Structure 1
């Protein structure tokens, strides 16, 4: 993995904030869906089991103000507390939590690198794609599980996804 991509994927800063800094455009959220999934594992990484249920799943596109999709994200929340933390559903998670001055620890659990025809269609970009999933911890308890996939469009800002030989 190229160093710039390592910073995006392995760093503990806000990806939404990083996207704004890279593109010099406001990062906006298009909410695809918010659904109660109850105790269903919902095809999520197994670590979802530590997020108390019943759970609600939120799916979004992160895009520039001019409309370029940069990332897909799904997050799973304890349904009874989601409104407490995501008061404005159209804001990025980091913006909602920052407004509340919520102290968090980002615990990266997995990285992905692969192909997806559905993501190619949705992003309008040919893969491969980098993704990750992580937990946000708050006051020693898991707050949410987040799964993100980043568009290859970001190579315009970050350079190639893989380091060259050497």
Structure 2
């Protein structure tokens, strides 16, 4: 590009001042100059692309390394909690008492359903409404499902949080300590 600018300036000087012996302006027919300019431009393009690709690759590797280190830190921090989870047992209450009887006609005779006051819906899984919420999603941190429903979500192709629709990487068991 710089060489092309110099040759253009020399051509302008040659055009205004006539034929000067001290200025050697390249003509359009000079194949060597044209070949040199094209080759130098091509070489610059290749070098720019190579340098840009190298910078992008190094940036990608640094970010990948940092995200793996971040995941290892999460695992190391949560290992004591996972070890304690065997000691903690959460008890869930069914929505319908097991003492209900159904006749052959399908009528519920002596069914004793639990009232809505007995069940705390804020602690139930938002998908199955059968078990308590006992896991959370990484990276959003929402605790909305039981472990079984979380595994079903992670086994699907579209792994998104049911609350915020953010892509989830994994789920962790939530350890609830009894006071």
Superposition TM-score, scaled by structure 2 size: 0.22
Q: Answer 1 or 2: higher relative contact order, Cα 8 Å, separation at least 6.
A: 1
1 or 2, which has the higher helix percentage?
A: 2
1 or 2, which has the higher strand percentage?
A: 1
Superposition TM-score, scaled by structure 1 size: 0.23
